[in-house]
Structure formats: C-alpha cells, structure tokens
Amino acid sequence: MNKIIIDSEQLDATFRDCLFKDNEITNGEIPEGAIIVEGIVNKFGFHPVRLTDKKQVVYEWLNALPHQFHKNSGGGWSFLNACQQENGIHWTGFHRSMEQLFCLGIGLGAVKCQLPREVWKALPGGVPYYVIDIA
C-alpha cells in the first residue's frame, strides 16, 4: 500500500528547528559555524548540530523522492517534480515545502544543484535541477 512518507507538517517543524533561534544571533551577525544555504527564493542559516541531528529523517524524506532525482538511478531532475514521492503519492502542493526539503539536503551535503543560478531562467519553470547523492 502506498503511503505518505514525507509529512509536510513534520518537515516544516524540522526545518524551523534547524534554523538559528533569535537568542542565538548576536548583533545581527551570522553565528560562527552556521551552515548557509541558498534556496530558490530564500537564503537560510542552519544550526550545524541541530541539522546533523535531523540527518536520518531528512535522508528518509530525500530517499522517498522519485528515482530520477538520485545520482545513481536518474542523475537529477527538475525541482518541479519534487511534489511527488517515488510511490506516486503527491505529498505537497507548495514550492516552499519542496525548497525546505532540498535546502536541508544541501546543508547536509546530500543535494546539489546541477546548474548555476544564471542558467535557471532557461530551464522549465525557471527553477533548478537537483541531484540527490546519499552515500
């Protein structure tokens, strides 16, 4: 039976937990050791310890995406296709949720953008292609 593996509410809570909290930022400065990730629309600063603590669940979610995203089976695919899991279940209708998942993966070193931002405008929807490489 097909099931939803990527829960968008749990993803959002995990994503927010990995961000720096207001009391961890002094004088508006980027905290030392922050993992800075540039998404499609936003730029985020992840707390390295909390992000690493969430590695297992983030990898589980990334592995639930269609095989076309994975380095060893598809080689990468358009961001626009990340709304469905490999099992065909549509897990989100929000680009924000997809951006959150990919940014967590980028922060963990498991996701890479295949082309520079300057080229995105030539791609379908003007969004990047991502490849997932979980060793």
Q: Where are the domains of the chain?
A: 8-132
Quote the pLDDT of residue 2.
Answer: 82
Q: Contact 84/66 with Cβ under 8 angstroms?
A: yes
Rounded (10°) angle between helices 95-107 and 8-18: 50
Percent of the chain with pLDDT over 90: 96
List pLDDT tens digits, range 97-123: 999 999 999 999 999 999 999 999 999
The CB density around residue 130, as the number of other CB atoms within 10 Å, is: 24
Phi, psi of 130, rounded to the nearest 5 degrees: -115, 150
Quote the pLDDT of residue 135.
Answer: 74
pTM, two decimal places: 0.96
Taking Cα atoms as reference points, which of 105, 109, 78 lies closest to residue 6?
105
Cα 58 from Cα 108, distance rounded (Å): 9
Quote the pLDDT of residue 22.
Answer: 92
List pLDDT tens digits, range 52-81: 999 999 999 999 999 999 999 999 999 999
